[in-house]
């Protein structure tokens, strides 16, 4: 299935880019604060970024890859991280649905950025 992972590719193309995740780390869409909901360019960056499942840190750039991982494996990875961080593991399924929905609509090799619910392709690497 197609999934999104963190990438350094195209970092710096936007002045407000940041990259605090590990390369190739699985990402999902984290919680968005009110400031970012009002204007993602002026907030903390959560409305412009993807959250790393492993580090819990964020990146403004992610890429679509084809993975051998199953949905169940992905969900249990996210669930384990939620439990570790003291969040409600029940939200893991929704977090996985959301990011897989996004990945499914993008081509493999796409370098993706985000502004709240809008996802755009910066570059397509084949």
- Which residues of this protein are in contact with Zn ion, per CB under 5 A? 33, 36, 43-44, 46
Q: Which is nearer to Zn ion, 24 or 43 (CB)?
A: 43
- In whole angstroms, the minimum distance from the beta carbon of 86 to Zn ion comes to 19
- In whole angstroms, the minimum distance from the beta carbon of 95 to Zn ion comes to 17
Q: Which is nearer to Zn ion, 44 or 124 (CB)?
A: 44
Which residues, listed in sequence order, are joined to residue 6 by a DSSP beta bridge? 62
Q: Which is nearer to Zn ion, 46 or 96 (CB)?
A: 46
Q: Which is nearer to Zn ion, 46 or 64 (CB)?
A: 46
- In whole angstroms, the minimum distance from the beta carbon of 22 to Zn ion comes to 21
- In whole angstroms, the minimum distance from the beta carbon of 116 to Zn ion comes to 11
DSSP assignment of the chain, as one string? Answer: -EEEEE--TTTTSSTT--B-S-TT-BEE-----HHHHH-TTTSSSGGG-EEETTT--EES-EEEEE-S--HHHHHHHHHHHHHHTT--GGGHHHHHHHHHHHHHTS-TTEEEEEETTEEEEEEE--
């Amino acid at each position: 299935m197609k999934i999104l992972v963190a990438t350094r590719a195209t970092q710096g193309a936007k002045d407000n880019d940041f990259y605090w995740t590990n390369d190739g780390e699985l990402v999902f869409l984290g919680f968005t604060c009110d400031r970012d909901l009002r204007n993602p360019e002026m907030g903390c960056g959560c409305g412009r970024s993807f959250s790393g499942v492993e580090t819990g840190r964020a990146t403004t750039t992610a890429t679509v890859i084809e993975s051998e991982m199953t949905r169940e494996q992905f969900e249990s990875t996210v669930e384990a991280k939620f439990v570790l961080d003291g969040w409600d593991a029940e939200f893991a399924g929704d977090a996985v649905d959301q990011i897989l929905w996004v990945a499914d609509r993008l081509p493999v090799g796409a370098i993706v950025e985000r502004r709240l619910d809008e996802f755009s392709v910066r570059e397509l690497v084949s």
